Amino acid sequence: MYVDQKEVTANAGETITIRCTATGTPRAQITWYQGQNKMIANRRIAVSSQGHLVINAIELKDAGYYTCLGNNSAGQDSVTITVNVQSE
């Protein structure tokens, strides 16, 4: 598992992208969690086809720990990223 950064700091209202890459064969399925809760795509949050997490118009409540979990038939691995959000 690889992420481009272990900690992200953003200002409220910004869009952030957290890049997470899993190598292996077969290709790993990427799942994102905020804390213990599986991320569900909505009007502000999306997971790209490459497995990157995109949060649009980030809010103070979005601050916390995010985990990128890669899973395939060979096993699984994860990495956790800290997201800090500052008020405007």
Which residue ranges form the domains of the chain, and what is each CATH number? 2-86 (2.60.40.10)
Its pTM stands at 0.89
- Please tell me the distance from the alpha carbon of residue 55 to that of residue 19, in angstroms, as a whole number: 12
Mean of pLDDT values over 10-35: 92
Q: Cα–Cα distances in Å, from 30 out to 8, 50, 54, 70?
A: 19, 8, 13, 5
- Please tell me the distance from the alpha carbon of residue 29 to that of residue 9, in angstroms, as a whole number: 26
Classify burial at 81, counting beta carbons within 10 Å of its beta carbon; exposed 0-12, middle 13-18, buried 19 or more. Answer: buried
Mean of pLDDT values over 32-36: 95
**Averaged pLDDT score across all residues of the chain:** 92
